[in-house]
Copies of this chain bind each other. A is one copy, B any other.
Amino acid sequence: MIRLGRSEIEALIDLPDAAPAIEAAYVAASEGRVNLPPVGHITFPEASADCHIKYGHMQGEAHFVIKVATGFPENAKTGIPTGNGLVLVMSAQTGEAKAIFHDEMLLTDIRTGLGGAIASRSLGRKNATRLLVVGTGPQAQWQIRSHAALMPHLSHIGLWGRNPDRVGEAIDALAPDHLVHHEPNLEQAACVADIIVTATGATHPLIRSGWVIPGTHITAVGADAPGKQELDVDLVASADLVTVDLVSQCVDHGETAHAIGQGKLPVDRLVELGTILSDPPQGRRDDHQITIADLTGIAAQDIAMANTVMKATARR
């Protein structure tokens, strides 16, 4: 059985190489070719903590994948990461356990980063050069790495965060591989961005409707649970194209959930990213549209990442 830790996994993954598997996962999910049973969930009320078990199998793949992710917010008091987890890779031919990735959430971070960059590449204008990333945590940094890897024509990368010290820390963490500019004013930065990525834990809108000019694409990845929100409802409702990773999830807890809940966005306007990736004419139609990708994270991405690591291990 293969056992890999976080740093070993990180050394095995090349972002541009991994992207096609994530793209294929979105397409397979939209075409119903992924067997995804309901997510398992157990709570620990005394610690306000929980554990999710996501598992599934993509048709034709040699392995199926079980991802265990825990959230224990009180760990923050003792310096232990609040999020933790591991990934089991099982043979879909024999049921044998083939690998355990003790990834400390790295694979989730990377698949989310790649998912964002795939959405931006698919829906952003071809002549886009200015990227604005909102948020300073690990996911914001993976969004920058992934966008830089998949969209090398982005010549200006700006970063905004509520806490300027955190912005500086993130910029330092990304240097020297990535030259990232500190954006002190979110409204001004949003007005001139070609692509805006929001990767925060915000529960109130950060990006206002009037700030965003025609031609902009926005990828929002922060709303991975109910109660979270990064985009103004009117911005989502008035966009020319609203893409989601999985309609059923985004209706429940994505950015789009707020607009749908207020009756401002009909569910039938949502187009899944996998549909656009397999049929690009369903995506952006011209350079004046405002497009939004609302990504909540799907288990098919986890399966694709695990399969990618398995294949990289075999080549090693």
Residue numbers of A with Cβ under 8 A of B are: 1, 3, 35, 37-38, 40-44, 47, 49, 51, 53, 55-57, 64, 66, 68, 70-72, 75, 78, 80, 83-86, 88, 90, 92-97, 100, 102
Q: Do the beta carbons of A88 and B68 come within 8 Å of each other?
A: yes
Which B residues touch A70, using CB under 8 A?
90, 94-96
**In the complex, A1→B37 CA distance in Å?**
28
Task: Tell me the smallest distance from the CB of A63 to a CB of chain B, in Å.
Answer: 11
Q: In the complex where A37-B40, A51-B90, A57-B42 touch, is A75 in contact with B95 (Cβ < 8 A)? A: yes
Q: Do the beta carbons of B37 and A42 come within 8 Å of each other?
A: yes
Q: Do the beta carbons of A55 and B72 come within 8 Å of each other?
A: no
**In the complex, A51→B43 CA distance in Å?**
23
- Interface majority SS on A: helix, strand, loop or mixed? strand
In-complex Cβ contact of A95 among B37, B56, B72, B100 (8 A)? B72
Most buried by B among A49, A84, A95, A97: A95
**In the complex, A265→B289 CA distance in Å?**
68
Q: In the complex where A41-B37, A42-B56, A66-B68 touch, is A51 in contact with B95 (Cβ < 8 A)? A: yes
Which B residues touch A75, using CB under 8 A?
94-95
In-complex Cβ contact of A97 among B56, B68, B72, B95 (8 A)? B68
For this complex, 28 residue pairs linking A to B, each with C-beta atoms less than 8 Å apart, are A3-B3, A35-B42, A37-B42, A38-B40, A40-B40, A42-B55, A42-B57, A42-B64, A44-B57, A44-B92, A47-B92, A49-B95, A53-B66, A68-B88, A68-B97, A70-B90, A70-B94, A72-B94, A72-B95, A75-B94, A75-B95, A80-B94, A83-B95, A84-B96, A85-B95, A85-B97, A88-B88, A97-B102
Task: Tell me the smallest distance from the CB of A241 to a CB of chain B, in Å.
Answer: 34
Task: Tell me the smallest distance from the CB of A309 to a CB of chain B, in Å.
Answer: 17
Which B residues touch A100, using CB under 8 A?
100
